[in-house]
């Protein structure tokens, strides 16, 4: 059995508490001891971590792994993200990738998945949905929902995702059908965030999109025929967000409903809160070949918007996140990597940097670790404590002081195995 003693690190255990100087002993795939001046077992590898910051492996709560491809998982791991939650695609492909990842057959971050997501009729992406998401299925009646839910649960999915075209009655039916067996999240449009919270949904994805109808002034409301497949849609949503009052009555009411219902928010701020869409050469080089073949992975159009409008829209998104955090709504980092223009791993650190504009750094790191693990219902992840999986990240720097230091990964381990 492999034994590793990480000696003298500043240990951030994932809870949000201040880090403490400690040693961490790993035996096999688990953390066995945490404390001061631990003795190294005979034959153990000793890692000198003096002056370094040790934290649990981070979790991306929203990706499309089958869209960016398996090679992106190793990039994720090298950048300290040891688990990614796949938010849907072709049922066969997503379950196959999850199974091979779970078995350790795919190098890099471990994959959990919702399998096939539950879309309504008409589909939000219209006729191009099949090309974009390779397996999008339309659900017109309760029987359609039941077939997908039963198939997903039989495959042991880690959650259920409801999609934009699903109406309120089918959202309520899905929540009842799942009956708490796995967490349910939603990227919604036909159903408002407030309606979904009242129905018992556990999470909401994409602040830019899912809360739009709840918060936008009437003059910026979307027409029924306007969908994500329509190029003007994105510019209209951005312009609408520029007009939203992040502390106004609609925002206060919606946030209070989410807090009361315990709904988590995965805002994917890289979709909407990044005004500058440029990447460094290192980030640009990390895009996978699969991403480069998809135009959707290279940008979301926002034609015709002035820079001032884009900046106001982005700032309002950040301010809503700030208000959510203050109200006790759990906010978790996710990127939508594979479906939006961010490279694997690097996009996650961009998301953390955006979240840190709205939340304290300690809260961002806790959300990236124990908060995301709690949403997955995985008590073996997200914390540095005896018995937890040895998913660990050693950082040169102090991300509590400067959130960009999360990029400065000195070493990372998944299940006690060091990432090359």
Neighbours of 223 (CB within 10 A): 9
pLDDT on residue 341: 84
Strand partners, 53: 10, 395
Tokens at residue 34, please? 């945490």
Average pLDDT over residues 182-197: 97
Cα-based distances in Å from 110 to 1, 11, 58, 186, 224: 21, 23, 11, 22, 39
Average pLDDT, the chain: 94
Q: Where are the beta strands (DSSP E) in 143-282?
A: 160-162, 184-186, 203-205, 264-266
Task: Look up the pTM and report it.
Answer: 0.96
pLDDT on residue 303: 59
State yes or no: pLDDT of 126 exceeds 80: no
Average pLDDT over residues 164-180: 97
Contacts by residues 251-257 (CB-CB < 8 Å, ≥ 24 positions apart): 251/215, 251/320, 251/323, 252/323, 253/194, 254/193, 254/194, 254/211, 254/214, 254/215, 255/320, 255/323, 255/324, 255/327, 255/329, 256/327, 257/193, 257/194, 257/197, 257/198
pLDDT on residue 34: 98
Query: Which residues, at least 6 apart from 216, have a Cβ–Cβ distance to it below 8 Å?
Result: 240, 241, 243, 244
Q: What are phi and psi of 252, to 5 degrees?
A: -60, -45
Q: What are phi and psi of 410, to 5 degrees?
A: -85, -40
State yes or no: pLDDT of 224 exceeds 90: no
The residue among 202, 162, 166, 196 whose CA lies nearest residue 182 is 202
State yes or no: pLDDT of 419 exceeds 60: yes
pLDDT tens digits, one per residue of 105-115? 999 999 999 99
State yes or no: pLDDT of 295 exceeds 70: no
Tell how far CA 37 is from the center of its chain: 36
Q: Is residue 37 within 8 Å of 389, Cβ to Cβ?
A: no
pLDDT on residue 306: 87
Decide which of 137 and 201 is more confident: 201
Q: For residues 138 and 72, what is the distance between their CA atoms, to the nearest angstrom?
A: 29
pLDDT tens digits, one per residue of 35-64? 999 999 999 999 999 999 999 999 999 999
pLDDT on residue 223: 86
Q: Is residue 177 within 8 Å of 149, Cβ to Cβ?
A: yes
Q: For residues 390 and 273, what is the distance between their CA atoms, to the nearest angstrom?
A: 33
pLDDT on residue 298: 45
pLDDT on residue 301: 54
pLDDT tens digits, one per residue of 73-86? 999 999 999 999 99
pLDDT on residue 225: 79
State yes or no: pLDDT of 232 exceeds 90: no
State yes or no: pLDDT of 195 exceeds 70: yes
pLDDT tens digits, one per residue of 235-287? 999 999 999 999 999 999 999 999 999 999 999 999 999 998 899 999 999 99
Out of 113-127, 343-357, 369-383, pick the least confident. Answer: 113-127
């Amino acid at each position: 059995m492999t034994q590793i003693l990480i000696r003298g690190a500043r240990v951030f255990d994932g809870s949000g508490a201040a880090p403490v100087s400690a040693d961490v002993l790993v035996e096999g795939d688990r953390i066995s001891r945490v404390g001061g001046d631990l003795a190294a077992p005979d034959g153990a590898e000793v890692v000198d971590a003096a002056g370094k910051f040790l934290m649990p492996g981070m979790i991306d709560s929203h990706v499309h792994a089958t869209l960016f491809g398996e090679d992106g998982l190793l990039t994720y791991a090298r950048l300290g993200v040891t688990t990614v939650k796949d938010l849907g695609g072709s049922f066969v492909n997503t379950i196959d990738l999850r199974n091979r990842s779970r078995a350790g057959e795919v190098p890099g971050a471990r994959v959990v998945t919702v399998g096939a997501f539950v879309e309504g009729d008409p589909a939000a992406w219209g006729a191009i949905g099949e090309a974009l998401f390779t397996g999008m299925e339309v659900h017109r009646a309760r029987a359609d929902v039941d077939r997908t839910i039963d198939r997903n649960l039989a495959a042991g999915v880690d959650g259920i995702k409801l999609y934009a075209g699903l109406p309120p009655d089918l959202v309520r039916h899905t929540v009842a059908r799942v009956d708490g067996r796995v967490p349910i999240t939603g990227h919604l449009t036909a159903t408002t965030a407030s309606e979904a919270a009242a129905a018992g949904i556990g999470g909401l994805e994409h602040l830019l999109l899912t809360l739009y109808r709840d918060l936008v002034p009437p003059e910026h409301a979307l027409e029924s025929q306007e969908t994500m497949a329509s190029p003007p849609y994105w510019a209209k949503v951005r312009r609408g967000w520029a007009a939203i009052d992040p502390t106004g009555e609609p925002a206060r009411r919606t946030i209070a409903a989410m807090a009361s219902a315990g709904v988590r928010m995965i805002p994917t701020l890289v979709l909407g809160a990044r005004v500058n869409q440029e990447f460094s050469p290192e980030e640009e080089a990390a895009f996978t070949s699969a991403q480069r073949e998809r135009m959707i992975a290279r940008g979301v159009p926002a034609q015709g918007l002035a820079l001032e409008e884009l900046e106001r829209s982005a700032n309002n998104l950040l301010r809503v996140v700030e208000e959510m955090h203050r109200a006790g709504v759990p906010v978790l980092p996710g990127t939508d990597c594979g479906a939006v223009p961010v490279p694997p791993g690097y996009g996650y650190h961009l998301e953390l940097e955006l979240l840190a504009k709205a939340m304290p750094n300690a809260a961002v790191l806790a959300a990236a670790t124990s908060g995301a693990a709690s949403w997955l219902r995985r008590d073996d992840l997200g914390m540095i404590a005896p018995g937890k999986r040895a998913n660990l990240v050693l950082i040169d720097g102090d991300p509590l002081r400067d959130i960009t230091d999360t990029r400065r990964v000195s070493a990372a381990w998944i299940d006690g195995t060091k990432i090359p």
